[in-house]
Structures are given as structure tokens and as C-alpha cells.
Structure 1
């Protein structure tokens, strides 16, 4: 007989003895039916305890798995968006290079070409790290990615379309880094507001 079987037999014997002494006073004998009923009640109680312990174990395992998933998601976000603050600080440099190319319209062509090449290299380096430029000129206004600075009546354009971009926007891994500042066309004369109402 193995050690485990010995321990199990001893435990069962102890339980029977406890049940007998608990329900039967000193000097009293239990009938076999009473003993079976007593043991059945104890078995039922132990089964409920086992079920409760199993439920607690499953809940603890589920909680541990949820914590692990949350931690993995947090690490993934940290990797994806670690550059966010750094990228925000570099956006004014891109804006300055774009303004420089616009200002050099009548300047020496080689200088203008040099600034444009620098700007293109800079934008390509940003795209390698999933920093994408938003230039919504001619697109429909999207408040998730655009910030309307003004609305101008323009019958030549469809209503709610971007007619001018004051400052380009950027996303980092599809998360908005900076909204594009735009002028939105209203598609004609603005509606008169009835002030008498």
C-alpha cells in the first residue's frame, strides 16, 4: 500500500470516527442507516467545498490570464507609441521646412531643391516609424483628424470639404498625433439665421 493510500484511509477513518462521536453521545451506538446518512451528509458537504475551491481556482486562473493580456497590450502600446512625445517635438521642424520651400519660390533653384530634398528625406524617415502626414486638401472634413479654423462660403466646392490646409496633421500608428488645421467650404451662401425667433 502506498503512502498516499495510507493517508487517504486514515483520513476516511478519522472522518467516520468524528461523525460517529459528533452525532452519538458517549456510550450510544449508531445504526447502520444513521451512519450512512451521516457519512452521506459529510460527503455532500465535502463535495460542496471542493466545488467552491474549484470555482475559486478557475476565477483566479481567469484573473491571472486577464492581467497577463492587459500587460501584453500595455507593452504593445508602449512599443507602438514610445515615439509620440519625440515626434510631436519634431513636427515644427517639418512645418518650417515646408514654409521654407514655399518662401523660396523666386530663389535660386538649387537652394530650393536642396530644401525640398531635405524635407522629403525627413518625411521618409518619419514614415519608417509610422508617422504619416495628413494633407486633407479637397477631402471631406473629418472632425477626428481635422480642426476647422474657419468656414468659408464657396459655391465652387462641395459643402463640408476642405478648401485650404493651414497646417498639416500627423498620425502615429493610426493614432492622431496632431490634427490638420483646415478651412472648410460651406458650398455657397451661409444660411440666414432668424434672430426674431
Structure 2
């Protein structure tokens, strides 16, 4: 009888033990639930970094596009200025022939012949000179400048064209000794090189060496 009376007590004491075991088994789950926000925060870290990287990439692309647009604008402006500056280059090149003919006409009349000529010839020569000077002034006003090297000046292949060589001169080899036709520039561009004769001495190595006619 005693055992039967104690049996319910044993069962009753076992129930708290089972309840405690269940609570202990549930604690890790509860702890895992408590860690979820931290895990979510850790998982959200790479997402923020990716957004920041994408933002930096978009900003870099925007800056590059703005720089490219500015370069395009400057290039278009420069091309516009060049077009306005050099638009009359072809016309100016043709007018150089007129200037050359005026100078040739004056060169045919020597100084002593002009002095002995009658008044009509002198007046005509003065008219040609006036026309040649006026044409030169008009060309210069439109940005066209004359290139006329002086005797003894070093030959420059960027602005001069060697037509012949002159041996036995007092000038160093490779220097200009005679100008056949003046050269011209428009802005920074060469319209026509000055056509010249250059010195060539026997001791060229001591007086400047071989003339360089390559641009």
C-alpha cells in the first residue's frame, strides 16, 4: 500500500523534470532568435557596400561624361574659330599671284631706266607701286603676313623652299643669299614658303655644314 501511495508522488516529481528539460532544449532556439537581428545586420553590410560602390561608379561616369562634353564644346569652338580664320586661305593664296606679278612688273624697270623715262612711265610705275603696297596692306589686315628672309639668315625648311645653291659666297653654308619670291602665312599656317637660294661653300663643314631642306 505504501508503494502505491508514493507512486503518484514520483510521477508528480517527474513532471517538473520533464518541463525543465523542455525549457533547456528551447533555450538554444531562443538564443538563436535573439541572434537573428545581428545576423540580419551582418547580412545587410555587403548590400550597403554594394550600393556605395554603385554610387561611386555612377558618380565617376557622370564626371567623365561632363568632362567629355566640355572637351567636345571646346573642340567645336576651336574648329569654329579656325574655320573663320582660315576660310579665305584659298582666296588669299590666289591673290599672292597678283602681288607677285605687280612686283615682277616693277622689277622689269631698272632704276636708271626709270630715272630716264618720261613722266607717263614714272606715273605708271608709281601707280603699280601704290597698288602693290595697298594689296600688301589688305593681306596683312586679314591676318596674312609676309615671310621675307634676310641675306645670311639661316635656312628654315618650315618656312623656306630652296630653289638653288650658290657656291663661293661670304655667307655660311645653309644660309639664305637670295630671295626669289616672298613667303606668306595666314595665322599659324603656311600659305606659301619663301623661295630662296642658299649658300654652298667648299668648306661647308666649317661654315654650317650641309643645308637641311626637309621640313
TM range (shorter): 0.7 to 0.9
Q: Structure 2 vs 1, CA of residues 168 and 39 (structure 1 numbering), >3 Å: closer, same or farther?
A: same
- TM-score, length-scaled by structure 2: 0.71
Question: Does the CA-based 8 Å contact 2:173-2:204 persist in structure 1?
Answer: no
Give TM-score, length-normalised by structure 1: 0.77
Task: Describe the SS at the equivalent of 1:53.
Answer: helix
CA contact (8 A) 1:154 1:189 kept: no
SS across alignment from 1:148: strand
**What root-mean-square deviation, in Å, do the aligned CA atoms of Structure 1 and Structure 2 show?**
2.0
Q: Deviations over 1:9-38 (max 9, x none)?
A: xxxxxxxxxxxxxxxxxxxx7801111012
Q: How far apart are the structure 2 equivalents of 1:49 and 1:184?
A: 67
Q: CA deviation at 1:69?
A: 1.3
Tell me how far 1:112 sits from its aligned partner. Answer: 0.7
Number of the residue aligned with 2:67: 62
2:154 aligns to what SS in structure 1?
coil
Distance 1:174 1:56, change over 3 A: closer
Shift of 1:85: 0.8
- Which is greater in Rg? 2
Residue 144 (str. 1) matches residue 158 (str. 2):
yes
Aligned to 2:85: 80
Counterpart of 1:176 in structure 2 is: 190
Matches within 5 A, 1:106-145: 106-107=113-114, 108-138=121-151, 139-145=153-159
CA deviation after TM superposition for structure 1 residue 154, in Å: 2.5
Shift of 1:188: 4.4
CA contact (8 A) 1:170 1:177 kept: yes
Runs of 4+ in 1 over 4 A off after TM superposition: 188-191
Question: In the TM superposition, what is the alpha-carbon distance from 1:178 to its structure 2 partner?
Answer: 0.2
Residues matched between the structures, number: 164
Confirm or deny that 1:186 pairs with 2:200: yes
- Higher helix proportion (structure 1 or 2): 2
The Cα shift of 1:88 comes to 0.8
Over 3 Å counting, the alpha-carbon distance change for 1:36 and 1:190 in structure 2 is closer
Task: Give how far 1:189 is off.
Answer: 6.0
Partner of residue 55, structure 2: 50
Tell me how far apart the structure 1 counterparts of residues 145 and 89 of structure 2 sit (CA, whole Å).
Answer: 12
Gapped regions of structure 2 (runs ≥ 5) = 1-32, 115-120, 206-215
* Unaligned stretches of 5+ residues in structure 1: 1-28, 192-197
**Post-superposition shift, 1:132?**
1.0
Aligned partner (choices 146, 149, 159) of residue 173 of structure 2: 159
| 8 A contact 2:172–2:204 mirrored in 1 | no
